[in-house]
A and B are shown apart, each in its own frame.
Chain A
Amino acid sequence: MPPAQTPPDAPDHRVASAFWPVLIGPGAILGLAVVGMAQPAPALVAAVVSGAAALALSRPRRRARVPSPIPGAVPAVAAESGPPFVAILDRLPDPLMVIAAEEADDLTGRRFLFANAAARDLFKIQRQGALLVTAVRNPRVLEAVDEALFGNVEGVVEFETGGAQGRSWLAHARPLKDAPGRSRLALLALRDETDARRSERTRADFLANASHELRTPLASLSGFIETLRGHAKDDPGARDKFLGIMLAQAERMSRLIDDLMSLSRIELNEHIAPLGRVDMAMAAIDVIDALAPQAREKGVTFDPVLPPRGGAVVDGDRDQIIQVIQNLVDNAIKYTPEHGVIRVEIFPGLSAEAAAAARDPAASRLSLLTPDHDAGERYAVLRVTDRGPGLAREHLPRLTERFYRVEGQKSGERSGTGLGLAIVKHIMNRHRGGLTVESVQGEGATFGVYLPMAKVGAEPAPAPPPAAPAEA
């Protein structure tokens, strides 16, 4: 907490830079000079022979006032041979950290001597010399680091970092050659195992879901085939009727497989942020055009409230955003009675709180997905409102469950697969967005999705200043 922490003083930087020779390999490179990381003044700190240099970090916990003595330090020059290693280590894709500590019972003594860019990003490490425990809390990892530091034992542990897009890691803790004095060093290297874990799990889920959900239509198909071979063989009227039902069942099975496949694909990539930009308004218009015949057939009309072109550009995968809008609008068409109106609105430039806020205080409302908190983020919100029967409060938390169906509700002839909202949720999570639902029973439901707006200037994209929020 603020008052107690060591300020990031100059010696911290020196400690950090003097450390390189040790990391590169004990005794391997003598006389390295390393560039101080941020401080212009000791920009070229002449670090020393690997062993002696390590002394500089013997008391990293010390406050700035006492400069660390380096007994027998031999100033070295060779400035060129050092920095490349810094850059290389810093740019490695896997998180890599070096931890220094002195006494086993002193928690505040365990500090990061070095953390490469991937590690800083993952654990939000603000500066060199930050406490280990403020970044990594997992007891298994801490134990492995302790064993490496004080037991000289190598260890490998699995752990997960939480948050909306959780990841699985394999953490390797290895002791590094002890620095002279009482300081001890350990290397903590992480490897991303998310892909392997996810595909394992997704495969299991897919099999379980597919076998379970396909059984019903399959049973009905084989039932009709049996009837057609038996007593309905010579009854043309019954044959046509049964064939019609069989076709509908077969179509349902194929929709189900499509949805399951697309859900599996999305889940596999859920932790990878999407590339590309999408204009939400354009995407919404495309979806409305595509679904117009279906709406006409049912006698429902659209009431779009959209910002001008370029007004709501978000970071995202166009196909997936279209899929989200399509699933929401498709649902709305299914549940809206004849002559009903479906409202499709987009509001750009809202904060996360405003984006997730309720519109009707009387309605039951729930966040089905909330993005990780980021104060400065602006969101574009898309809301789809139908005039259907609405949803009772107790159903809201379970809407994104696979195959969850609200009892007593019929979605019409073209019955859904029960995966539409699950797909929406996973796509939104991949896009670091949110999903809300609001409903008054008997009056309809509103589904809202919100996505982080594309940063202006981050990429040459036609992005005029976002229109003023049309609604608080």
Chain B
Amino acid sequence: MTEHTVKSYGEELAHLTAEVTRMGGLAEAQVADSIEAIARRDGPLAQAVVGGDERLDALQADIERKAFRLIALRQPMAMDLRHAVAALKISMSLERCGDMAKNIAKRALILTEADPMTALTRSIERMGRLVQGRLKDVLDAYTTSDLQRAIGVWSRDEEVDEHYNSIFRELLTYMMADPRTINACAHLLFVAKNLERIGDHATNIAEIIHFELTGEELVSQRPKLDAIAQ
């Protein structure tokens, strides 16, 4: 058999999907570890998350290069074009998720030095699990090309917002009651905000998948809750 195989077009596309999926797995793990670092006050784990972000960035750059190359050389049409563009866009979203995980981990490092606030970190952990679940669902939808699953993630966006609002109030109450907690609470507030943003990225990825599979935009008619007005 000839060893220098010229990769077929189809293989190149499949390769792109595989890369994005792998990147998704890494982003998932980064998010999970950053939440774990907050919940268990685990400094070394937080440090590892901060260090691990580089790999995610490198993967994103690699996917971007490959997607551009494929578009330039193969000039894909219709489904194939949407496929390549989706890989590009999803990888960008995932990279942002990674950045936010890194930010959460940095705050976890600071929080390990403060007094433990178990009740609050529990709420954060609960919200984190929810966001993690959404990320997992949307990536599962991507790897299996499952349109219904993607739409499911998209339409359940409000749950995360509700949690965010509830944590927001809880933190305010704490800060008002005891100003010494303001420092830690402010960090937790940003952690919650970051988690909410990761949830938004999951929704965004669901929209990209929808467009990739159908060629049509998901029309935004979700019951949107205004986080600040509440």
Contact = CB atoms under 8 A, between A and B. Distances in A.
Given A2-B145, A107-B18, A134-B21, A394 B139 contact: no
Given A1-B13, A107-B19, A139-B25, A162 B149 contact: no
Nearest to B126: A401
Contacts of B25: 133, 136-139, 142
A133 B80 contact: no
A160 B29 CA distance: 10
Given A162-B136, A366-B159, A367-B159, A394 B144 contact: no
A88 interface: no
A396 interface: yes
Contact of A133 (B8, B18, B122, B123): B18
A133 B133 contact: no
Contacts of A5: 10, 14
Given A1-B145, A397-B162, A397-B166, A133 B22 contact: yes
Contact of B143 (A134, A163, A164): A134
Contacts of B162: 366, 393, 396-397
Interface in B41-90: 79-80, 83
Most buried by B among A3, A5, A164: A3
Contacts of A4: 10-11, 13-14, 17, 83
A140 B25 CA distance: 9
B159 A140 contact: no
Contact of B21 (A2, A59, A133, A366): A133
Nearest to B209: A1
A370 B160 CA distance: 13
Interface string A120-144: 0000100000010111111110100
Given A3-B79, A124-B144, A162-B133, A373 B152 contact: yes
Contacts of A373: 137, 148-149, 152
A411 interface: no
B205 interface: no
Interface string B138-174: 0100011100110010001011001101100100000
Most buried by B among A1, A106, A401: A1
A207 B122 CA distance: 16
Given A137-B28, A396-B162, A1 B22 contact: no
B15 A106 contact: yes
A397 B123 CA distance: 10
B145 to A, nearest CB: 5
Contact of B166 (A69, A370, A394): A394
A147 to B, nearest CB: 15
B21 A3 contact: no
B26 interface: yes
**Range of interface residues on chain B?**
35 or more
A233 interface: no
A139 B18 CA distance: 13
B1 interface: yes
A202 interface: no
Interface in A1-24: 1-5
Interface in B90-140: 122-123, 126, 132-133, 136-137, 139
A470 interface: no
Nearest to B14: A4
A38 interface: no
Interface string A90-109: 00000000000000001110
A144 to B, nearest CB: 13
B230 interface: yes
Contacts of B156: 367, 370
B24 interface: yes
Contacts of B133: 162-164
B9 to A, nearest CB: 8
Contact of B144 (A63, A134, A393, A395): A134
Interface string A362-399: 00001100100101000000000000000001111110
Contacts of B152: 373
B177 to A, nearest CB: 13
Contacts of A59: 1
Interface string A391-422: 00111111001000000000000000000000
14 contacts: A4-B17, A4-B83, A63-B8, A106-B15, A133-B25, A137-B25, A138-B28, A139-B25, A367-B156, A367-B159, A373-B152, A393-B230, A398-B123, A398-B166
Given A107-B22, A131-B18, 14 more contacts: A4-B17, A63-B8, A107-B15, A108-B18, A124-B144, A133-B18, A135-B143, A137-B21, A138-B28, A139-B22, A139-B25, A160-B32, A366-B162, A397-B162
Interface of A: 1-5, 59, 61, 63, 69, 106-108, 124, 131, 133-140, 142, 160, 162-164, 366-367, 370, 373, 375, 393-398, 401
